[in-house]
Chains A and B, each alone.
Chain A
Amino acid sequence: QKEVEQDPGPLSVPEGAIVSLNCTYSNSAFQYFMWYRQYSRKGPELLMFTYSSGNKEDGRFTAQVDKSSKYISLFIRDSQPSDSATYLCAMGLGGSNYKLTFGKGTLLTVNP
């Protein structure tokens, strides 16, 4: 079992839809949780960063962390064609062993 599992999709939705992206993990020591967006031939771009259970909102994006279930989600409201990209979840241990473990990424297409 991989430390971080993410459904690779692809996921195709109409413009304006609510998108839900999810990851599960097995290492209960993970303390930091991130979502990155990666456009084709570009590097990953940080969307959300959190280190606690609960919800964090930033504009149309909401990140949700449930440490008891080892499950994180990213919700995109009112999705736009410009949201079409690969979304990567990433998780990190704390302290001196801080580094990120990534999911495989979910390819999202928002159709106008």
Chain B
Amino acid sequence: EAGVVQSPRYKIIEKKQPVAFWCNPISGHNTLYWYLQNLGQGPELLIRYENEEAVDDSQLPKDRFSAERLKGVDSTLKIQPAELGDSAVYLCASSRGQNSPLHFGNGTRLTVT
């Protein structure tokens, strides 16, 4: 089966600019996650979707971050405006549902200058 697909792989923007990341999960996976990974750290959850509903967004900085998962398949994560501290790898993952292992994409590496 095809894996989780993310785009773009790399993005360089100036601070205060907007940026968006896209994720296509594995077919049939109802649960979708966005994780943030800083250098030398493990991934940290930003938001979790069950189908099109955001069921856990407690770690999402809502003043500048937003996400959507229309029709319960693809998802987009947006940052507006970006700050220097947002430089990191943004990982998307999907799973068949609760209590199933997560499968990750290769991430989008964001650099904010």
Give chain A's interface residues, CB within 8 Å of chain B: 4, 6, 8, 31-32, 34, 36, 41-46, 49, 51, 88, 90, 92, 94-100, 102-105
Contacts and interface: CB of A to CB of B under 8 A. Distances in A.
Given A96-B98, A99-B56, A102-B43, A41 B109 contact: yes
Contact of B103 (A41, A46, A90, A92): A46
Contacts of A43: 4, 6, 91, 93, 104-107
Interface residues of B, number: 24
Contacts of A4: 42
Nearest to A89: B42
A45 B104 CA distance: 7
Interface of B: 4, 6, 33, 40-45, 48, 55-56, 91, 93, 98-99, 101-107, 109
A87 B54 CA distance: 29
Given A42-B106, A43-B91, A43-B107, A32 B99 contact: yes
B99 A99 contact: no
